[in-house]
Structure 1
Amino acid sequence: MTKADLQHYLQTARDALLWKLDGLTEYDLRRPLTPTGTNLLGLVKHVALVEAGYFGETFGRPLADVLPGLEDDAEPNADMWATPSESRAVIVDFYRRVWQHSDTTIAALDLDAAGRVPWWPEERSSVTLHRILVHVIAETNRHAGHADIVRELIDGAAGLRADNDNMAPGDAAWWQSYRSHLQQVAEATRET
């Protein structure tokens, strides 16, 4: 797989994650919808901060003006939610700036370029650009999946990306019937 292929998969995951924000209010973007507080804007902030570190500090190319959230003295999970002053525009603009910085790093280095992830255990902190690209693609897709579920909890919107939802065809009645069928299957497996 070429660097261009890897970068394509990374950008597709980035776009999918941001698509989950479309059309929602600031309130809905921040609502904690799981017992651990998962929320859409926090997912984007987290992914942006993580990507900034992996393509920045790891390769001696730190990004200037990084949003707070991952400092040693930050409160727990500060990277997983947006403060009142961190609007959708602030978070999305920061994420797009991270993309530009990351893409510059990717363009400047060969896939076998050496880096060091300072927050990983020493025995595995030596990495290559290739390994970091694969790692960040996996990380971004993982959180895009979280965002898909959170978005579905907010307003029922679901799907892979704007140009391909990758969902079975069906209207609201079909989906309700499908969900009812799955519930019946689950009920049939209950232990008494």
Structure 2
Amino acid sequence: MAGSVPPVADEREGLLKYLEQQRHVLRIAAYGLTDEQARAVPSRSSLSVGGLVKHVADTEDGWIDIVLQLPQKEPTKQDYVDGFRLLESETLEGALARYDEVARRTEEVIAGIADLGQPVPIPKNVPWFPKDVDAWSVRWVLLHLIEETARHAGHADIVREHIDGATAFPLMAAAEGWPESPWMKPWKPEAQSV
């Protein structure tokens, strides 16, 4: 995927393409990382690139459950904490594969909804959800997923830069095979010492 969303035909395609783009830039922050690096917490926060990938996948999947009005699992405090960490038993490859599955599910579910204005009842057991609103729309949920994914993609960019100095465009150039130019050099992993 290129650095920008291509022209879109309509609202549905636009929302899905912008969500896809934000997923892509989050994945770019993970490009070339080892599992150990993906678990690293190199800044003052407790965020890691692998943990952010897990969290965003879990969040998107949960919102699609809400759209489908499926029963919500009540997470424990440990579930919440572990949702932001790539555990020793987990791999970055596995987290990214799950994120791909979540993306496919989202696209399938949204394709099956005729009207993006369809109401999505607001769960009443979440303290930060408004109590004076009965429903959002599917459109609102997609916009929220774009917002949430973009926020965490930005977090992942900062964490990644703390890990090895890599920044978004050189990583994107490396991941997408852009040719080197006088002003853009694709990221390359540091030489491993023997």
**Bucket of the pairwise TM-score, normalised by the shorter protein:** 0.7 to 0.9
- Mapping of residues 15-94 of structure 1, within 5 Å: 15-60=24-69, 71-75=74-78, 76-94=80-98
What 5-or-longer segments of structure 2 have no aligned partner? 1-9, 186-194
- Mapping of residues 1-192 of structure 1, within 5 Å: 2-60=11-69, 71-75=74-78, 76-109=80-113, 110-118=115-123, 119=126, 120-124=129-133, 126-160=135-169, 162=172, 169=183
Normalised by the size of structure 1, how large is the TM-score?
0.75
Give the RMSD, CA atoms, in angstroms.
Answer: 2.5
**Alignment partners' CA distance in 2, 1:102 and 1:151:** 27
Alignment CA distance shift 1:46-1:142 (3 Å): same
**Alignment partners' CA distance in 1, 2:131 and 2:101:** 29
Deviation of the 1:126 alpha carbon: 1.2
What 5-or-longer segments of structure 1 have no aligned partner? 64-69, 172-192
Q: Deviations over 1:75-115 (max 9, x none)?
A: 15221102111211221111111111111111111210111
Q: Deviations over 1:44-67 (max 9, x none)?
A: 00100100011223332579xxxx
Higher alpha-carbon deviation: 77-86 or 127-136: 77-86
Aligned length: 163
Deviation of the 1:35 alpha carbon: 2.1
Letter in 2 for 1:113: Q
Asked if structure 2 preserves the Cα contact closer than 8 Å seen for 1:53 and 1:62, the reply is: no
Letter in 1 for 2:76: D
Deviation of the 1:71 alpha carbon: 4.2
Letter in 1 for 2:75: D
Larger RCO (CA within 8 A; separation ≥ 6): 2
Alignment CA distance shift 1:142-1:4 (3 Å): same
Asked if structure 1 preserves the Cα contact closer than 8 Å seen for 2:61 and 2:106, the reply is: yes
Letter in 1 for 2:162: L
**Alignment partners' CA distance in 1, 2:87 and 2:74:** 15
**Alignment partners' CA distance in 2, 1:72 and 1:125:** 23
Deviation of the 1:131 alpha carbon: 0.4
The share of aligned pairs that are identical, in percent, is: 31
Please say which structure displays the higher CA radius of gyration: 1
In structure 2, the residue corresponding to 1:33 is in which secondary structure?
Answer: coil
Normalised by the size of structure 2, how large is the TM-score?
0.74
Asked if structure 1 preserves the Cα contact closer than 8 Å seen for 2:43 and 2:162, the reply is: no
Letter in 2 for 1:79: G
